[in-house]
Structure 1
Amino acid sequence: MVNPFKEVDWNPDLAARRLFAKSLVIGFPIIAVIFLLILRINTSAWETKVPVLIFGCGTGAGLLFWFIPQVSKPFYIIWYSLACAIGLVFGNLLLGVVYYLLITGLGLGMKLAKRDPLNRNFDRNKKTYWLDVKPPDNAKRYFNQY
């Protein structure tokens, strides 16, 4: 299992904190626009109160952290802690859901179709379950695969 907490720089230097501030200044307006469009689709009106609040808070915090990077360290640590926790939970959850849906679905489908690619049938009258394999035709065919 991948541990995202090992990948984070928990003692960020000035450049990392400025990059964090830049990501806030760029990311929050994008989130605000997406939120505005979702509200527009759902309510058929331009509800701007929440998107403007998201835009203002994110951009304001990003600019504050850009100009005074000493303030940003606790927010950086909290932000990346939450991001790692969410990523860990959702990554494993999605991996488990996809795995169980895929494997269980394939297994149930093969069981319903009575398909058994391993030929797992028990016959007491058989001496052996060994299957004879046809030897390869010619070894030169391995050099001309296409």
Structure 2
Amino acid sequence: MEKLNCDRKSLRKFGITMAIAFLVLSLIIFFKHKAVPPVLPAVSLAFLLLGMFLPSLLKPVYIAWMRLAHALAWFNTRLILCILFYLVFTPVGLFLRLLGKDLLDRKIDRNAGTYWRQREKRHLTPAEYERQF
């Protein structure tokens, strides 16, 4: 894991962000159940006050939160790539094989003298040399 940026500004932003997150969570619970556990606004207020006045006290929480975030990112990346490979690329590849398609033109032609593709010969203008792609 790369070195975390634990400067005062990052810790302050973390405290304010967590305060907003707990406040939003409190509001969602309030609108759904018409009651809020008092611990949620208290945690929100604690994050806000610590973030504004003593951000250095949030450093252990920040480090733990970022380690959790890195672990979740590592897992989610592999999960998404596996799902993409096994549920998208593999079925498409099997389907194309069943149809006998070779989209990459990988067939070996033993009688071919070369695999170069001939291009039409045409005179290019200087403007076309400027915009190659």
Question: What does 1:1-146 align with in structure 2 at a 5 Å threshold?
Answer: 5-6=1-2, 8-9=4-5, 12-33=6-27, 36=29, 46-49=32-35, 52=37, 55-66=40-51, 67-117=53-103, 118=105, 120=107, 127-128=111-112, 130-131=114-115, 133-140=117-124, 143=128
Q: Which amino acid aligns with 1:15?
A: K
8 Å CA contact 1:28, 1:54 repeated in 2: no
**Alignment partners' CA distance in 2, 1:7 and 1:106:** 41
Q: CA deviation at 1:130?
A: 3.9
Q: Which amino acid aligns with 1:24?
A: M
1:45-69 per-residue CA deviation (whole Å, 9 max, x = no partner) reads: x3255x6467425413312422333
**Equivalent pairs: percent with the same residue?**
22
Q: Which runs of 5+ in 2 are unaligned?
A: none
Name whichever of 103-112 and 74-83 sits farther off.
103-112
**Alignment partners' CA distance in 2, 1:98 and 1:76:** 32
**Alignment partners' CA distance in 2, 1:76 and 1:132:** 58
Secondary structure of 1:136's aligned partner: coil
Q: CA deviation at 1:84?
A: 1.1
1:26-76 per-residue CA deviation (whole Å, 9 max, x = no partner) reads: 222234455x49xx8xxxxx3255x64674254133124223334212111
Q: TM-score when scaled to structure 2?
A: 0.69
How many residue pairs match? The answer is: 127
8 Å CA contact 2:4, 2:63 repeated in 1: no
| Alpha-carbon spacing, 1:71–1:131, altered in 2? closer, same or farther (3 Å) | closer
Cα RMSD of the aligned pairs, angstroms, is 3.3
